[in-house]
Amino acid sequence: MTLIEFSGREVVRRIQAREVTCAEVMATVLDRIGAVNDRVNALVSLRDRDALMAEAAAADAALAAGGPTGPLFGLPIAVKDLANVAGMRTSMGSPITEGTTAPADDLFVERMRAAGAIFIGKANSPEFGLGSHTINPVFGPTLNPYAPDRSAGGSSGGSGAALAMRMQWLCDGSDAMGSLRNPAGWNNVYGFRPSWGRIPPDPGGDVVMHPLSTMGPMARDVEDLALLLDVMAGPDPRAPFGPVPDSFAGRVDTDVKGRRIAFMGDWGGAWPTEEGVLPLCAAAAQVFADLGCTVEEVASPFPAAELWDSWTTLRSFSVVGRLGPLYANPRTRTQLPPQAIWEVERGLALSSNDILRASTIRSRWHAAAADLFAAYDAFILPTAQCFPFPVGDRHPTRIGDTKLDTYHRWMECVIPASLGGFPALGAPAGFSAAGLPIGIQIVGRYGDDLGVLQLGQAYHAATGWPQRHPPAA
């Protein structure tokens, strides 16, 4: 087994045990990127090789001198291009922000740096993170490693593809509407959306009203997710919300026999779903039955139309806060993508009653979910309602005979977890007859991140899907 095939935690262990040097690890990653990144365009804004090798050598010298190490010591990591890394470009996939150099690290990046990570560049993302398809006018599209004519998903598509192509051991991502879960399912890896507040948001801007998005880890196995989650998570005195602090590394491997799981498929027929998706997800749910869990198909516990109403209202309200100033400026408005303009204009048209109605629906969903979690430990849904679509399409416009009315309607299945702020693990569920990957979401009650990761670890041990390499790799 080559170094790039090991887990991230094993690479760090070998560095700390002096079995391999940080310089050797860095050279391995950079050589791998040089060999395969052009096939998928997952990593962008890469730093100079000589500078990175010098930084790795400095880490080796610090280790030899007995300096402190951390859980990510010496690990090369590319940060999603929506986040700030001090001294590096933050393009966000937009010509408006392209060329911007970040003056400081975002909070979770600061924590990764303190844990010993070496930042090598950025992972590609959609323009401003909108739309679960990683394409933008600055860097172009990220291609799916398993089907290079198809989308890698998003908005953490660059991270997902980099993991699948063995260019990274660990990646960060962010998730409002499935941006950690969809690319996990479409790239045959794992992406974890933690309970909202587990990873505190950066101070500045609105962190109180209607929180929707969160950071989270991505990896090729669940124990590596736990490793990175421990680094990214933890309270911050400037953050107003968050579950009880917890730790995860070393605690995810356990017997899950007796746990109760609800399989919801297409939410009682409410969501149009491409042929072939649900059978693969049902087969993935059956794995838990084979592990001794109780798995039951359950009717939808809440009206899908109300969830959609609440979500789209609060999402547009949130996007106005981020992109409203760019829309208000005539010079930058013309450079915004269509989905950004659509969201901002919807958000500007909202009344206070619209926002109150959406928040009330959300509150009712929390109450309904509490009843659901009284009977079940987790529920399972697809990570997307379709297989990866052609990379040249901006988004799917139909599923079967159903015309889709928005750019993100094919992602409706991620809303229950996002709207509730629940922990949700995106996990591989296999491949279509044409070789296209899809995944499942394992969704747990708020604060039970450990329980979800334990289910994911048992599932990973039973299936090992990421061991199936992309044809291009």
CB 285 within 8 A of CB 261: yes
Rounded to whole angstroms, the Cα distance separating 55 from 120 reads 10
Query: Residue 179 catalytic?
Result: yes
Rounded to whole angstroms, the Cα distance separating 371 from 410 reads 27
Q: What share of the chain is helix, strand, coil (3-state, %, to 5)?
A: 40, 15, 45
Q: Give the C-alpha distances (Å, rounded to integers) separating 148 from 151, 193, 275.
A: 8, 26, 21
CB 15 within 8 A of CB 73: yes
Query: Residue 80 catalytic?
Result: yes
Rounded to whole angstroms, the Cα distance separating 333 from 341 reads 8
Of the listed 45, 132, 174, 179, which one is catalytic? 179
Strand, helix or coil for residue 52: helix
Rounded to whole angstroms, the Cα distance separating 165 from 5 reads 10
Kindly report whether the peptide bond that precedes residue 155 is cis, defined as omega within 30 degrees of 0: yes
Look at residues 234, 111, 117, 218 and name the one whose alpha carbon lies nearest to residue 175.
Answer: 218
At residue 204, φ and ψ (nearest 5 deg) are 105, 135
Of the listed 80, 125, 174, 213, which one is catalytic? 80
Would you put residue 63 in left (φ > 0), alpha (ψ -120 to 50) or beta? alpha
- Distant-in-sequence, close-in-space partners of 71: CB < 8 Å, separation ≥ 6: 9, 12, 115, 116, 227, 230, 231, 249
Rounded to whole angstroms, the Cα distance separating 173 from 451 reads 21
Of the listed 45, 91, 155, 318, which one is catalytic? 155
Query: Residue 213 catalytic?
Result: no
Rounded to whole angstroms, the Cα distance separating 363 from 24 reads 52
CB 465 within 8 A of CB 430: yes
Q: Give the C-alpha distances (Å, rounded to integers) separating 457 from 29, 189, 426.
A: 26, 13, 12
CB 94 within 8 A of CB 136: yes
Look at residues 110, 128, 129, 139 and name the one whose alpha carbon lies nearest to residue 37.
Answer: 139
CB 422 within 8 A of CB 445: yes
Residues designated catalytic? 80, 155, 179
